[in-house]
Amino acid sequence: MIELPNERILVTGGAGFLGRHLCDALRGLGCRNLFTPRSSDYDLVNREAVKRMYAAFEPTVVIHLAARV
């Protein structure tokens, strides 16, 4: 069984079809630290915005599902 309660998981594209289902599954596995950034808050093509996002959340796992970057 996968145990995720202490992982800090960043999911880009978390509002999309696949991302929503993945986030639901991660929550079902006990993930308590899940971050799904909004494109209006973090521009994934802007290096400084991505650095700011990493600094703000400090993820241990990154799952990149954003369709448009």
* Pair 19, 65: CB distance under 8 Å: yes
| Average pLDDT of the chain, as a whole number | 91
Q: Which residue has the tokens 């970057």?
A: 69
Task: With a cut of 70, say whether residue 1 has pLDDT above it.
Answer: no
- For residue 6, the model assigns a pLDDT of 86
Q: What is the pLDDT of residues 32-52, one digit of tens each?
A: 999 999 888 889 999 999 999
Task: With a cut of 70, say whether residue 69 has pLDDT above it.
Answer: no
In-domain check, residue 45: yes
In-domain check, residue 69: no
Task: With a cut of 90, say whether residue 3 has pLDDT above it.
Answer: no
Domain that holds residue 23: 8-64
Q: In what order do the strands lie in the sheet with 8-12?
A: 33-35, 8-12, 61-64
In-domain check, residue 2: no
CA distance 60 to 43: 20
Number of compact structural domains in the chain: 1
What totals of helices (H) and strands (E) does the chain contain, helices first?
Answer: 2, 3
